[in-house]
Structure 1
Amino acid sequence: MSSSFFLKGKSRQVHKRKGEKIKKKNPKKPNGPNLENGNESSGSDLDIRKFSDAEESESDHETAEQKKLRLAKKYLEEIEKEEAKRAELKEIDDVIEDRLKKDYLEQKGKLKYEIGEKYEVPSEKDLRLIRAKEHRLTLTCVCISSDNNIAFTGSKCGTIIKWGIKEKRKLGSLTYKTHSNLLKGGITSVAITTDSKYLVTSDESPNIQVWDPSSLKHTHTFKGHKDFITGLVFRKNTHDLYSASKDRSVKIWSLDEMAYVETLFGHQSPITSIDALTRERAITAGGRDTTVRIWKIAEESQLIFNGPVGSLDEVKLLDEEHFVSGSDNGSLCVWSVLKKKPLCTVTEAHGSENEVPRWITSLATLLNSDVFASGSYDNSIRLWRVSDQYRKVLPMFSVNVSGFVNCMQFTSDGKQLYVALGQEHKAGRWFRQGGAKNGLLVVNFSIKS
């Protein structure tokens, strides 16, 4: 029988050679105490390990009372850090809560900033007329990006110019010479998405052109209208486009899919103006049919508002529940979506000439506020303030300009107004103001805090 695997007797001795040391390794325990010189460290030593070596060496010379005081201070510092972190998180939560509340009130049309009384009358130095050789003829339209960084203008000579607001100069242009296959006649409208991803333009053709606002490269053409387009607007925070045309229809387009969606009918004459905000709705002015229509797209219905006699040429939303209209009989009307008649009317808002009221040629609203502006051809832009639950319109002041005020837009902070000026009306050549200059007027406002 073979010998047992286990041998009895003394264990084998390990002899060290001369000049050689045998190293003994202490087993490491993952979470156990450190072993130094064969002795376990105490619990208080474990706490001290949390601090730096410098603090450890310092603690070797301190008394028990000093140690307690030091640890207490360290504990208080940790508490202060935690409280600061909580305060920061609460601040973030408050910002989110305020934003959600603002978005909710905006959707309901109940968000309103009353800042009309804080505006100061601009002086001559606050007005700046910018001109470019590409805009030889009357400027017809203007739009501003939501971040207030760039503006686009169109003119009757079929050119579009990109302006840098911060740079205060021209950044690029699209002309008939360079894009003769795409630009047909005078530009009638320009619009840009909230995220500045798409720019759309229309001219004296039934087509809508889509561009990249950064590079000004052409990306798509929408075809479908039977007459030229009179207005373009994007639904806020989306890539849904609404177009209005002389063919009396409104068409909806999706730029996410670069596709036609549907057509809305109802107006009895060419549509002259269109606007939209966040809701899935569009609002239009029907010119000679003297109606404003709100198109409830999801519900497939429309609200009809009958305006004053004449041609109802301009309409702009103040918020989701109120809007302003302007007619060729010189009247300004403020409306609620809940009432069929105007809440208030200003007759001959820009005076008359030879006993004929001057037309309202453009409107601009500072969204969710009590401020809006109107333009005509009386050499002035007039600013107005709504009050008394939208039942009164009070004049604020006038800004002197020269020529037809064909289109206007406020920057989102209300501190600037961009105005497309020209010698002629944007829609025709009934008469001309020879002394006026075709250009982009920038009006700077001071608003009291």
Structure 2
Amino acid sequence: MSSSFFLKGKSRKIHKRKGDKINKVKPKKVSAPNLENGHESSSDSDLDLKKFSDAEASESDHETAEEKKLRLAKKYLEEIEKEEAKRAELKEVDAIEKRLQKDYLEQKGKLRVEVADGYTAPHTDDIRLVKAKEHRLTLTCLCISYDGEYVFTGCKSGTIVKWGVREKRKLGSLTYKSHSNFLKGAITSIAISSDSKYLATADHSNNVQIWDPHTLKHVHTFKGHKDIIIGLVFRRNTHDLYSAGKDRSVKIWSLDEMAYVETLFGHQCPITSIDALTRERAITTGGRDTTVRIWKIVEESQLIFNGPEGSIDVVKLLDEEHFISGSDNGSICLWSVLKKKPLWTATEAHGKENDVPRWITSLATLINSDMFASGSYDNNIRLWKVCDSYKKFIPMFSIEVVGFVNCMQFTTDGKQLYAAVGQEHKSGRWFKLSSSKNGLLIVNFPIKL
């Protein structure tokens, strides 16, 4: 019987015979391409080199050192530009957020910036009086454009002068001779809109005149008051104009439609001053009726505040919740819209003359701050700091000026104060300071904030 081909339990093995070699597979080495007669040989190593080349080795291998530096520099600049764009975007968002917060606080009357401690008394070189031949008589009023580019002044001789702040000179004028159809007697008040589109003036004609402040061309005439207009003010960031007169009324005008809107009544005596900020409200003083009134126009109501004896001649808002008033008995009062009586009163704020307190002839407030200025005829403009959470005010320093300080206004950045100065009181000719000169006083503050 023949034996089986397979052996059970035994595995088939390959036996190496003596002298035989077992070839093991070794990894191929990448070698430089062989050059034969100036041409690359198409070897396996050459194919492996091509596989090894990728996107990073494609262009950079063939560029010079200078080209590489230029490429890397461009890439670096692109990265910087991207980073700066991101930073600018974040800054813009942050600025918008801060602006919205500021507008909200201002609208609510809660924006208060404490700057008074950064002010010091100006030097003699920081104070300058400029004059114009058109202002033959006492200056009575002034207004500054919101951007601080122009100042407009009015006087008793019935003329208006436009001053350029950057040019530091007179740019033009409106006189009773050249504009006799529109200017009648002494200029009593002047106001400019926040966007510098309209200039409003009032005089002894009982009318409100509207002008283009850039060209000084006449635009419109508003008629309706029955007596001389004492004060004009634009509501901020609008073309709504408020006028107050000796006829004891406040009138509202829309310059967008060039139309009359409505009349507000309440004062028992001629109105002596008017002011307004962003809210649809106006604040007025009633002179001898010793009241200050806040007119809530939308609500068709008014708040009445009872002041000291005498005539309350001037009022200025510090913010939407606080205001300052000045009287002919020499007192300055600080008020809150939540209190019917003054929070603080400084009696005889500008001293006495012949045992009679000097009248407070003008006030100027740096809006939403803790500082204001007062004027009289004691040869000083006095600056005051509001403190103790807006419950009182204390004196800071004085600025020497000769004459009646009939009107004042700070620039919006608080770096300058402009004052209309003259030999007589703006509202009458009771007595005259002959040593004074009629002109525009410019005060530059060396602010340290």
TM-score for both structures, normalised by structure 2: 0.85
Q: Which residue of 2 aligns with 1:7?
A: none
- Secondary structure in 2 matching 1:374: strand
- Secondary structure in 1 matching 2:231: strand
| Partner AA of 2:294 in structure 1 | I
**Structure 2: how far apart are the matches of 1:408 and 1:44?**
82
C-alpha displacement of 1:120:
1.1
- Secondary structure in 1 matching 2:298: coil
Q: Which residue of 2 aligns with 1:448?
A: 448
Structure 1 runs of 4+ aligned residues shifted over 6 Å read: 42-48, 69-77
Q: Do structure 1's residue 234 and structure 2's residue 225 form an aligned pair?
A: no
Distance 1:58 1:407, change over 3 A: same
**1:22-55 Cα shifts (integer Å, max 9, x gaps):** xxxxxxxxxxxxxxxxxxxx9999968xxxxxx9
Distance 1:367 1:59, change over 3 A: same
Q: Which residue of 2 aligns with 1:152?
A: 152
* Greater mean alpha carbon deviation, residues 71-80 or residues 317-326: 71-80
Distance 1:427 1:86, change over 3 A: same
The one of 46, 54, 62 aligned to 1:60: 62
- Secondary structure in 1 matching 2:188: strand
Q: Which residue of 2 aligns with 1:365?
A: 365
Distance 1:359 1:81, change over 3 A: same
- Would you say the 8 A contact 1:344–1:390 is kept in 2? no
- Secondary structure in 2 matching 1:447: coil
Identity of aligned residues (%): 70
Structure of higher CA gyration radius = 2
C-alpha displacement of 1:58:
5.0
- Secondary structure in 2 matching 1:99: helix
**Structure 1: how far apart are the matches of 2:428 and 2:126?**
30
Structure 2, unmatched stretches of 5+, are: 1-49
Q: Do structure 1's residue 264 and structure 2's residue 239 form an aligned pair?
A: no
Structure 1, unmatched stretches of 5+, are: 1-41, 49-54
**Structure 2: how far apart are the matches of 1:309 and 1:188?**
25
| Partner AA of 1:339 in structure 2 | K
C-alpha displacement of 1:83:
3.4
C-alpha displacement of 1:130:
0.5
- Would you say the 8 A contact 1:285–1:312 is kept in 2? yes
C-alpha displacement of 1:84:
3.1
Distance 1:71 1:153, change over 3 A: closer
Q: Which residue of 2 aligns with 1:173?
A: 173
**Structure 1: how far apart are the matches of 2:344 and 2:84?**
52
Q: Which residue of 2 aligns with 1:333?
A: 333
**Structure 2: how far apart are the matches of 1:151 and 1:313?**
23
Map 1:215-364; keep pairs closer than 5 Å.
215-364=215-364
**Structure 2: how far apart are the matches of 1:103 and 1:444?**
27
C-alpha displacement of 1:434:
1.2
Distance 1:341 1:45, change over 3 A: farther
**Structure 1: how far apart are the matches of 2:216 and 2:51?**
71
Q: Which residue of 2 aligns with 1:20?
A: none
Q: Which residue of 1 aligns with 2:213?
A: 213
C-alpha displacement of 1:60:
2.6
C-alpha displacement of 1:81:
4.1
Q: Which residue of 1 aligns with 2:423?
A: 423
Distance 1:107 1:46, change over 3 A: farther
C-alpha displacement of 1:78:
5.5
Q: Which residue of 2 aligns with 1:38?
A: none
* Greater mean alpha carbon deviation, residues 213-222 or residues 78-87: 78-87
Q: Which residue of 2 aligns with 1:21?
A: none
Q: Which residue of 1 aligns with 2:29?
A: none
Distance 1:46 1:134, change over 3 A: farther
Distance 1:155 1:74, change over 3 A: closer
What do you get for the CA RMSD once the two structures are aligned? 2.4
Distance 1:85 1:310, change over 3 A: same
Q: Which residue of 2 aligns with 1:101?
A: 101
C-alpha displacement of 1:353:
1.1
TM-score for both structures, normalised by structure 1: 0.85
**1:177-199 Cα shifts (integer Å, max 9, x gaps):** 10111111000000000000000
- Would you say the 8 A contact 1:107–1:278 is kept in 2? yes
| Partner AA of 2:169 in structure 1 | R
Q: Which residue of 1 aligns with 2:191?
A: 191
Q: Do structure 1's residue 382 and structure 2's residue 382 form an aligned pair?
A: yes
C-alpha displacement of 1:86:
1.9
C-alpha displacement of 1:268:
0.3
Distance 1:419 1:44, change over 3 A: farther
**Structure 1: how far apart are the matches of 2:295 and 2:180?**
35
